[in-house]
Amino acid sequence: MNILIIGAGGREYSIGLALKKDDNVEKLYFAPGNGASDILGENINISDFNELADFVEANNIELTIVGPEAPLVDGIVDIFRSRGLNIFGSSAKASQLEGSKIFMKNFLNRHNIPTAKYIETDSLQVAYDFINTLSTPIVVKADGLCGGKGVIIAQSHDEAKKASGEMLSGNSFGDAGTSIVVEEFLDGYELSVFAICDGKDFVVLPAAQDHKKLLNNDEGPNTGGMGAYAPTPLVNDVLYAKIDERVIKPTLKGMEDEGMPFTGVLFIGVMVVNNEPIILEYNVRFGDPECEELMPLLKSPASELFYKASIGDLKNTKIEFYDKYAVGVVMASKDYPYKSSAPAEIIIDNIVHNDIKANSHISFAGVSRGEDDKLYATGGRVLVCVGIGNSIKEAQQRAYALCGQVHFIGKHCRTDIAYQALEIEG
């Protein structure tokens, strides 16, 4: 089949790589794709949803897979479905699980799904009164999409009040912050759990851990994610079962009962506190860079997983994963995450070591192809070096061996991705 992937990042590239290995897939298209995705398929420069649907009809595309949240929140799935086209992703209504933190928190509350104690409000006085009842740190969140920046972990009551004031006045995040959530701080360890959902049934992927901070030891500012690995040994069968029963099942039933069945990727940000899963947030798409590690672990054909989910037929589909580990290390450009950097040519050494060649690969993200046909680093997170292995240590060594073969001016990466897992693995 022919497949269209919407998006431009490493996440979409890794979905493309998985589909490329799949015998059922004939031609891949990316809208818009990046400077390297033209190796996997054809980049098309269309963003209007109806024009994309026209393109899909004209090119016999049987499935469209949506990577980022923005087109989902903006209703691409609704338009495609109204035209009878298969698309993998959540409807605009269902995407409120990510698009509005207030919707998400109230939904969790309505369906008794465990989450941090909170209030939602557009009144500064109500925020102040609630802040006074909490001990520090205190978490203040803007309601709408803020590109991952709308969460403040305040270390004092005054800081929490100041953050609430700045959000509510529209100074910090404009309209996205004119309603806020204030919540208690959860102290535990964080996981990324992904369920592929078809409205009723679901497949859970191996749990991942993301490293959001810029620097080793989880220090420095937050980023979109500097690396991730899966599966994490921080999850055992008991915890998976709790996540299934207490989180995913009531979420799918709740969404169906409320008239907005959830199809697509349910990305569950979990904080594990005393072995109990507590929900930090939902996203309606794959994590980036988590997707780059999960796609290579998929043993079943990727097209089958996404296609069956898009037509509501996961129930009769057995999806298998390799019994292996994947570690992904993000290589970022010089000034990431502070500002954009000048384009830098990317040079990748010929990989001579067979072991590295066979068990590692690059997922390209913030790259452009120059007029000289060379690849340039033009985004913040430029590419992800992914290593696969029989242990986390082996996967990590392979990922870092590959990082050593990639060169561009200003490149930097964390050197400790998967460190918590290694402490457990020993």
Residues of the shown chain interacting with ligand GLY in the complex, contacts defined by CB under 6 A: 148, 210, 225, 283, 287-288, 290
CA angle, corner 186, sides to 180 and 191, nearest 5?
Answer: 100
Instruction: Please check whether residue 275 is in contact with residue 307, taking contact to mean a CB–CB distance below 8 angstroms.
Output: no
Q: Look at residue 290 and give the partner it binds from ligand GLY, ligand AMP, none, a contact being a CB closer than 5 to 8 Å depending on partner kind.
A: ligand GLY
Assess 182 for contact with ligand AMP (CB under 6 A).
no
Assess 269 for contact with ligand AMP (CB under 6 A).
yes
**What is the Cα–Cα distance from 130 to 367, expressed in whole angstroms?**
45
Assess 159 for contact with ligand AMP (CB under 6 A).
no
Question: Closest Cα to residue 213, out of 422, 425, 420?
Answer: 420
Query: CB-wise, 226 or 298, nearer to ligand GLY?
Result: 226
User: Pairing relation of β-strands 263-273 and 213-215?
Assistant: unpaired
* H-run or E-run covering 385: strand 381-389
Instruction: Please check whether residue 229 is in contact with residue 294, taking contact to mean a CB–CB distance below 8 angstroms.
Output: no
Size of interface with ligand AMP, in residues (CB under 6 A)? 11
Longest alpha-carbon distance in the chain: 64
Question: Closest Cα to residue 150, out of 169, 176, 184?
Answer: 176
Q: Look at residue 288 and give the partner it binds from ligand AMP, ligand GLY, none, a contact being a CB closer than 5 to 8 Å depending on partner kind.
A: ligand GLY
| Residue range at the interface with ligand AMP (CB under 6 A); choices 32-40, 52-60, 178-186, 406-414 | 178-186
Instruction: Please check whether residue 37 is in contact with residue 15, taking contact to mean a CB–CB distance below 8 angstroms.
Output: no
Question: Closest Cα to residue 113, out of 249, 262, 256?
Answer: 249
Assess 220 for contact with ligand AMP (CB under 6 A).
no
Assess 139 for contact with ligand AMP (CB under 6 A).
yes
Instruction: Please check whether residue 291 is in contact with residue 356, taking contact to mean a CB–CB distance below 8 angstroms.
Output: no
Q: Look at residue 183 and give the partner it binds from ligand GLY, ligand AMP, none, a contact being a CB closer than 5 to 8 Å depending on partner kind.
A: ligand AMP
Among residues 55, 103, 128, 185, the one that binds ligand AMP under rule CB under 6 A: 185
Q: Look at residue 281 and give the partner it binds from ligand GLY, ligand AMP, none, a contact being a CB closer than 5 to 8 Å depending on partner kind.
A: ligand AMP
Query: Which residues touch 54 (CB under 8 Å, ≥6 apart)?
Result: none
Assess 116 for contact with ligand AMP (CB under 6 A).
yes
| Residue range at the interface with ligand AMP (CB under 6 A); choices 181-189, 238-246, 247-255, 374-382 | 181-189
Assess 218 for contact with ligand AMP (CB under 6 A).
no
Assess 15 for contact with ligand AMP (CB under 6 A).
no
Residues that bind ligand AMP (CB under 6 A): 116, 139, 141, 151, 183, 185-186, 190, 269, 280-281
